[in-house]
Amino acid sequence: MNSDPRQDLIHAATQFYQLGWMVGTAGNLSAKLPDGSFWITASGKSKGQLTENDFVRVSPDGEVLESPHPQNRPSAETSIHQTLYSLFPDANACYHVHSIEANLVSRFTEKDNLPLPPLEMLKGLGVWTENPEVVMPVFKNYLEVPRIAAEIGDRFKLSPPDVPALLIVYHGVTVWADSPEKAKNYLEIAEYIFRYIVASHQLSL
């Protein structure tokens, strides 16, 4: 990972914007620095036109440490990134997007989980068992994002997730990884799995 990971985040955001996963100003990406602080996309920025000035550097407890533009505000979902970095110390990047498929699969959950099909692609999320039976944790969507973050923290402390990804109902998917490159891979794999689930459901109708 670069000493300043903002270029990695810009490249990823441009790709996700072009794929329709970060339309308007939706979504947020962050990458952690060696001191534990992290750069996160500023609120209200078009993810297809980011520059290094469109980020805010935040401390582990949420304090703004650096803002290249005085009007920048941290993403509204900064608390979720804080929680995931706290829970998973090896995580160095956290990506959240709003794709159509991620929202559609919110309808196919069982209790608080989305069962994942035993696809070969699960290996890309670290699942190497034969005929795996794994789930992706699903969380309710609240207007007060810190409430979502608190539920993520409470649940993962009791039951670590099968895969480094979570869904928020009708909101989108979030992944975390030890590098921006790996987080991008995780997100692409998660979205592939979502498309498969949606297509399988359509075939069964």
Residue ranges of the annotated binding site for Zn(2+) are 96, 98
> In angstroms, what CA-CA distances link 155 with 24, 26, 49?
31, 26, 35
d(CA 99, CA 53): 25
CA contacts within 13 A on the Cβ side of 103: 8
- Whether the CB-CB separation of 135 and 105 falls below 8 Å is answered with no
d(CA 140, CA 14): 28
- Structure-block tokens of residue 81: 């990134």
> In angstroms, what CA-CA distances link 196 with 12, 24, 60, 189?
22, 25, 36, 11
Parallel, antiparallel or unpaired: strands 113-116 and 134-139: antiparallel
Q: Which residues are annotated as a binding site?
A: 96, 98
